[in-house]
Structure 1
Amino acid sequence: MNNQSPKIKKGRKFDQVVAGARDVFMREGYTGASVDSIAKAAGVSKATLYSYFPDKKLLFLEVAKTECLRQSETAMVQAHSGASTEETLTDIARRMTGFVLSEFGQQVFRICVAESERFPELGRTFYRSGPELARARVVEFLNCATERGDLAIEDVELAADQFAELCKADLFQRVVFNMPGKVTQPDLDRVIKGAVQMFMARYGTSR
């Protein structure tokens, strides 16, 4: 059995295809997005689209990877804007939870899990080029905050992972297991505030 994922081919209209697909996936979700609507939004033929992405899942994960990086880089702009460490952590937490808990983020998660046996490289490739790079941005910020003396962290990578988990407390499992009741804004605010406060209580130098 061939467990190799189909390959993505880069080309002149690659970014154009991804940008068009982002609009459609964000609006209609993975299941609702047709190849015809994606090609139309991207301004390319279906043949061109398939020449870059032979499988819709690959295109969806490429869009998700781009979105991960966009979110993390926007957070780094906040980090360099003069905002306090606590304010920046709150911003990072909002972006992180917003993506993970969104319908878009959940569809990414489900596809990676569903295809993990058949195409194990699919999820690995997405992780390495999306979430792993986003994590590196958080590590970069925590290193800067530690060098400034705002935080006292010995294992910055572990701290970044701990912060990510704090931001998902209860919420992620509720969404994954389709528990009754929507996650509300007060739910998000409560978890984010608690995550930042706990992180600062552990690593903040003013505690």
Structure 2
Amino acid sequence: MNINAPLKKGRKYDQVLAGAREVFLREGFEGASVDQIARDAGVSKATLYSYFPDKQALFMAVLTSQCQMQSEQAMGIEILQRPVPEALYSIARSFLDFLMSDFSVEVFRVCVAESARFPELGRAFYDSGPKLVLDQIADYLASERVQRDLDIADPYMAADQFLQLCRADMLLRKIFSIETSAAPEDMDRVARETVATFLARYQRR
């Protein structure tokens, strides 16, 4: 399996991704079949295989596309131009929306379950998801705009701390099916407290 092999794109590429996303979310990685994905996407198996060599590559393409879309929403230019506390709140809230989504939790479960058999799947998941977010937030924290307000010597460490504060306990409760969803007001509260705690540590005096 070569997860990092370049994938050609075409007219039905997005159609295949949309169908695959629904099947993976509904059936999980192990339960999802290429036949079912092709049916849900409304394409032939030959068309599907013309884009993706195997189910693992398709799974990672779905994950990557979702992470990129989330990143564009959370780290858009308009958001990053706001005052730092407002920008941090928007980033935290957007991150929580994605983190607590059914898709994100299911992907996390799948990658943990499959990473022993397919270590490259775990690496690809980390690189296209957690590491991507961490790198982007670290770049933002290292920017001149942020450094005027915050005293951050190690942006990468600060970004990791920020994300860990966002996760709080609600992620574990959902992963373990203790709760099936997070209320918007709870995510708002966690985002606000994340920013307050982060600023208390790093704001210039």
Separation in 2, partners of 1:121, 1:185:
35
Q: Which residue is equivalent to 2:195? A: 196
Task: Give structure 2 stretches of 5+ with no counterpart.
Answer: none
Q: Considering only aligned residues, what root-mean-square deviation do their CA atoms show, in Å? A: 2.6
Name 2:99's counterpart in structure 1. 100
Distance in 2, matches of 1:155 and 1:69, equals: 25
Provide the rounded CA distance (Å) in 2 between the counterparts of 1:134 and 1:68: 8
Alpha-carbon distance, 1:6 to partner: 4.9
- Report if the CA contact (8 A) 1:20-1:39 is conserved: yes
Q: Report the 3-state secondary structure (helix = DSSP H, G, I; strand = E; otherwise coil) of the residue aligned with 1:13.
A: coil
- Quote the residue 1:124 is aligned against: 123
Contact in 1 for aligned 2:89/2:192 (Cα 8 Å): yes
Deviation at 1:55, TM superposition (A): 3.3
From the superposition, tell whether residues 21 and 169 of structure 1 become closer, same or farther in structure 2 (CA, over 3 Å). farther
Match for 1:31: what amino acid? E
Gap runs ≥5 in structure 1: none
**Given the two structures, how large is their TM-score scaled by the length of structure 2?**
0.83
Instruction: Provide, for residues 116-169 of structure 1, a one-character-per-residue CA deviation record: whole Å limited to 9, x for no partner.
Output: 111011110222233322221111110115664111101110100011110010
Q: Which piece of structure 1 moves more, 107-116 or 197-206?
A: 197-206
How many residue pairs get aligned? The number is 198
Alpha carbons 1:39, 1:46 under 8 Å: kept:
no
Structure 2 partner of 1:88: 87
How far residue 175 of structure 1 moved from its aligned partner, in angstroms, is: 0.6
Q: 1:91 is matched by which residue type in structure 2?
A: S
2:19 to 24, 39, 43: 24
Deviations 1:76-111 (A, max 9, x none): 324665311111111111221111111100111011
TM (norm. structure 1) is 0.82
Moved more, 171-180 or 142-151: 142-151
Structure 1 residues 57, 104: CA separation in 2 closer, same or farther (over 3 Å shift)? farther
User: 1:142, 1:160 within 8 Å by CA — same for their partners in 2?
Assistant: yes
Q: Distance in 2 between matches of 1:204 and 1:79?
A: 22
Query: C-alpha separation between the residues in 2 aligned to 1:194 and 1:146?
Result: 22
